[in-house]
């Protein structure tokens, strides 16, 4: 069922809760692919009822980012959801979420701000305010849907770690369920932004997963020095890759690692032909 209004979702969820049913939420920006599908399936399996939100959240896009051209495919998204057994697809307008003519700056809007220690690194370094926008909209969605469980992909692992921190710090009564990255056979991590890639770009994009898999291999073989592990990346990079970061960080608090261990996650971001791609891998 496609729902656009907050009050309508709330009523439906209230009914479910009165009946003692558990509720899962899968927050998305639409343009659903098999990565989202795996989150949705996990929710449908775990929870009595599942809500998928489809909302391209303006306040998590930074100046110069792709808000206007971000892919919007609601009809296909709804079909995927229905087939997967989703009970409600919640697709609010920006006005429904933030009010008509609302000024979306922190001069006039309440924000949920994750700690700087978690946001001043990795993607947060180039995407100023991005995670403030993510935490704020997820907080809103949690308050609207009041789910028991919420499903997030490990593809956006910095986001996942930050949202877990938010839930913990603010005592939010929602359990966050992390879901593993879904990859093409080639190794490429699924992403809505892959649509921006030409076939040639896609070929170049394989470098990200190759670098990560190779680092994990080296780690499993006993190399733990982060500098040595990092240097193995250069074998996979060429002039078509603009490396934004390759970093080794703690899986819980994003602290930098100099020696890799099982609690280490390797994060990578590369721009290919103007398209920014991210990926990561746990060394566990």
Q: Just list the catalytic residues.
A: 36
Asked if 144 touches its own copies (CB under 8 A), the answer is: yes
Q: Give the one residue of 112, 122, 189, 278 binding its own copies; rule: CB under 8 A.
A: 112
Distances (CA, A) of 158 to 31, 124, 193, 214: 21, 9, 17, 21
CB nearer to its own copies: give 171 or 258.
Answer: 171
CB nearer to its own copies: give 115 or 178.
Answer: 115
Contacts 24+ apart (CB under 8 A), 211-218: 211/236, 211/237, 211/246, 211/268, 212/266, 212/268, 212/279, 212/280, 212/281, 213/187, 213/281, 215/266, 215/281, 215/283, 216/266, 216/281, 216/283
Q: Distance between CA 270 and CA 237 in Å, rounded?
A: 10
CB nearer to its own copies: give 15 or 169.
Answer: 169
* 3 state DSSP class of 29: coil
Residue showing tokens 């949690």: 142
Asked if 169 touches its own copies (CB under 8 A), the answer is: yes
Query: 59, 104 in Cβ contact below 8 A?
Result: yes
Q: Give the one residue of 165, 210, 216, 257 binding its own copies; rule: CB under 8 A.
A: 165
Asked if 255 touches its own copies (CB under 8 A), the answer is: no
CB of 275 to its own copies, least distance (A): 31
Asked if 140 touches its own copies (CB under 8 A), the answer is: yes
Q: Give the one residue of 107, 185, 239, 262 binding its own copies; rule: CB under 8 A.
A: 107
Interface with its own copies by CB under 8 A: which residues?
6, 10, 106-117, 135-136, 139-140, 143-144, 146, 165-166, 169-173
């Amino acid at each position: 069922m496609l729902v656009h209004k907050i009050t309508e979702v709330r009523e439906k969820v209230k009914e479910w809760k009165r009946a003692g049913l558990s509720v899962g939420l899968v927050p998305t920006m639409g343009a659903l692919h098999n990565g989202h599908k795996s989150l949705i399936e996990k929710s449908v399996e775990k929870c009595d009822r599942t809500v998928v939100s489809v909302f391209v959240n303006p306040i998590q896009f930074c100046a110069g980012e792709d808000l206007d051209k971000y892919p919007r495919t609601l009809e296909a998204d709804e079909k995927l959801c229905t087939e997967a057994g989703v009970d409600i697809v919640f697709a609010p307008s920006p006005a429904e979420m933030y009010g008509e003519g609302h000024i979306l700056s922190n001069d006039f809007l309440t924000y949920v701000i994750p700690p700087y220690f978690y946001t001043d690194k990795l993607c947060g370094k180039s995407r100023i305010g991005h995670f403030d926008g993510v935490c704020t909209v997820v907080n809103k969605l949690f308050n609207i849907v009041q789910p028991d469980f919420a499903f997030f992909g490990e593809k956006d692992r910095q986001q996942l770690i930050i949202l877990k921190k938010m839930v913990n710090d603010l005592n939010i009564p929602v359990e966050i369920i992390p879901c593993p990255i879904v990859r093409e056979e080639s190794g490429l991590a699924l992403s809505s932004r892959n649509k921006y890639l030409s076939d040639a770009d896609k070929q170049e994009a394989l470098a990200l997963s190759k670098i990560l898999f190779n680092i994990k291999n080296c780690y499993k073989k006993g190399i733990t020095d982060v500098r040595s592990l990092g240097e193995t990346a250069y074998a996979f990079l060429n002039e078509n890759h603009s490396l934004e970061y390759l970093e080794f960080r703690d899986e819980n608090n994003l602290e930098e690692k100099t020696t890799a261990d099982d609690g280490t996650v390797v994060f990578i971001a590369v721009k290919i032909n103007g398209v920014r791609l991210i990926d990561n891998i746990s060394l566990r």
